[in-house]
Copies of this chain bind each other. A is one copy, B any other.
């Protein structure tokens, strides 16, 4: 926003309308739009209709797009300028279970000590609503939008639906844009906003190892026949060294080294190992030697067993020799690792490690997402940084994210434009837990940051 006065007018509008914004957010949060619960299908739809209606009341052209799953809510400003930004969000929420652990009912939002409590407060209704209120402030008091804005709000994020992906694939032309904004992540800490400029990718598969037609009696056969559980333990153990390094040949070949700036940045953000372990609830941090905790999570690939099972796992003793054993393995990827290539390297390695007395059967890869890193010098990302700084009154930091956000892969992959991940939530919001909450201070600061991004 070049016009300081227009921005001040918009900020003033926000201050004057704090109570109304909050009342509207409460109304939005009271829809039990639980997408994973088929009993809530109508509630999800009513929420979509309410949201589209609200967007229409602000002067936007809005509509509810029916899909084979839950609807998408789409809205855009009427007078196009050409410079266009897509604001992504999701109006569906996690199931509130276990309901009995909520101190106040999950869909009867209440304000207490500067937080609004309710399912979806932080993930993601509160965050997407900040952008909606920013657009209102710009239209009603700030002299209009500087960019074209498309609101793209889905209702299947928490239930793994594919409707948005299909919609984007079919509407690439009408969704052509300069960049995308996603506010569905967390701030660095309570005072410091953050832009996540990278996401790890993922590839996951499952395999079964078979050594016999049926479980055998460990007395009659023990010592002379292979044990599938032991065989799978050997193979899995051979995937990683004692220092945490992945032993699969070529596994690290395509890992892009950190830039000088990134190395400095990670050093500045460094977390204390004991504090990290305490917060994660682990006895000790553990990872590849020679790398800091942030490097391990953000910038290094990771191979994990997600599950392993074989033989008798019930109560008491059963002296069988397991005929088969299985494991689920996932690998978090960093640029420039390719999911298919890494999956092939790891499964080939497992095949080579498999002794001749066992047969292997693979399933998958089941999930595959490319790792993504955006150049922090992209104009959109720098605009996001400036907007956060002005909205929050604090210098934002650049982080990466150890997980994948499938929608970011979809948006980036289909539209080919950078995605600005600027979250207004906190790790302590309890996004998928009882008593989810959202800081009202961050809500209003988020509105101001969005005003700066969309209006300036």
Which residues in A have some Cβ–Cβ distance to B below 8 Å? 200, 202, 204, 206, 210-214, 216-227, 229-230, 232-234, 236-238, 240, 242, 244, 276-277, 280-288, 293, 296-297, 300-302, 304-313, 316-323, 325-328, 330, 332, 355-359, 364, 366-367, 401-404
The residue in A223, A232, A332 that gathers the most chain B C-beta atoms within 10 A of its C-beta is A223
Distance between A56 CB and nearest chain B CB, rounded to angstroms: 37
Q: A280, B225: Cβ atoms under 8 Å?
A: yes
Give how many copies assemble into the complex: 2
Residue contact A313 to B317, C-beta cutoff 8 Å:
no
Distance from A312 Cβ to chain B, minimum over Cβ atoms (Å): 4
- Tell me the minimal C-beta distance from A242 to chain B in angstroms: 8
Contacting pair A230 B240 (CB below 8 A)? yes
**Is B316 within 8 A of A219, CB to CB?**
no
10 contacting pairs across A/B (C-beta < 8 A): A213-B281, A218-B306, A218-B330, A223-B287, A229-B306, A233-B305, A306-B312, A306-B322, A307-B318, A311-B328
Looking across the interface, which residue of chain B has its beta carbon closest to that of A273? Answer: B224
Pick the most buried of A214, A304, A311, A327: most chain B CB atoms within 10 A of its CB: A304
Give the Cβ gap from A412 to chain B, nearest Cβ, in Å: 17
Q: Knowing A225-B286, A285-B224 are in contact, say whether A313-B307 is a contact too (CB < 8 A).
A: yes
Shortest distance from the beta carbon of A426 to any chain B beta carbon, whole Å: 14
User: Is B305 a contact partner of A229 (Cβ separation < 8 A)?
Assistant: yes
Residue in B closest to A405 when the chains form the complex, CB atoms: B219
Shortest distance between the CB of A231 and any CB in chain B (Å): 9
Contacts of A309 in B (CB 8 A): 308-310, 313
Contact A219 B202 (CB under 8 A): yes
